[in-house]
């Protein structure tokens, strides 16, 4: 089974702090994703990466950056945390899909609170 592991299940940080959320997958997947989940809004894509050192902006990249130095690890960085970034953050990975219906596999999520 694919295992996507997020470093923290719950995290509390203060406004202005630099926050790192880590995600590791063990299936040699090419693609990795960061979403935030808010009630009534579903999952919204922040950033994704389709290869080491490659990244693309999703729908809501403002206030975030990412790093992918190794294939199995994808980090989400909140440069200067603000209260409106309090949310559930989900990491996912998938094989390069081409024209196949490969699904994304998700971690358990990190519930981040910014005080």
Partner 1 sequence: AQTVTQSQPEMSVQEAETVTLSCTYDTSESDYYLFWYKQPPSRQMILVIRQEAYKQQNATENRFSVNFQKAAKSFSLKISDSQLGDAAMYFCAYRGLGTSGSRLTFGEGTQLTVNP
Out of 14, 28, 52, 56, name the contact with partner 1 by CB under 8 A: 56
Residue 23 exposed, middle or buried by CB count within 10 Å (0-12, 13-18, 19+): buried
Out of 75, 76, 81, 109, name the contact with partner 1 by CB under 8 A: 109
- Between the two ends of the chain, the Cα-to-Cα distance in Å is 37
Q: Check residue 102 for interaction with partner 1 (CB under 8 A).
A: yes
Q: Check residue 20 for interaction with partner 1 (CB under 8 A).
A: no
Give Cα separations from 102 to 1, 16, 19, 33, 98 (angstroms). 14, 38, 31, 14, 9
Give Cα separations from 18 to 13, 74, 77, 81, 93 (angstroms). 9, 16, 7, 6, 24
The region of 14-22, 42-50, 60-68, 69-77 touching partner 1 under the rule CB under 8 A is 42-50
Q: How many residues bind partner 1 (CB under 8 A)?
A: 28
Q: Check residue 34 for interaction with partner 1 (CB under 8 A).
A: no
**Binding residues for partner 1 (CB under 8 A):** 31, 33, 35, 40-45, 48-50, 56, 58, 88, 90, 92, 94, 96-97, 99, 101-104, 106, 108-109
């Amino acid at each position: 089974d694919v295992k996507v592991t997020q470093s923290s299940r719950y995290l509390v940080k203060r406004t202005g702090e630099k926050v790192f959320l880590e995600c590791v997958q063990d299936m040699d997947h090419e693609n990795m994703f960061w979403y935030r989940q808010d009630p009534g809004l579903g999952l919204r894509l922040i950033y994704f990466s389709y290869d080491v050192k490659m990244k693309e902006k999703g729908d809501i990249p403002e206030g975030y950056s990412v790093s992918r130095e190794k294939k199995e690890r994808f980090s989400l960085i909140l440069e200067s945390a603000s209260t409106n970034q309090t949310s559930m953050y989900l990491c996912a990975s998938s094989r390069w899909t081409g024209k196949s219906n490969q699904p994304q596999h998700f971690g358990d999520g990190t519930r981040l609170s910014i005080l």
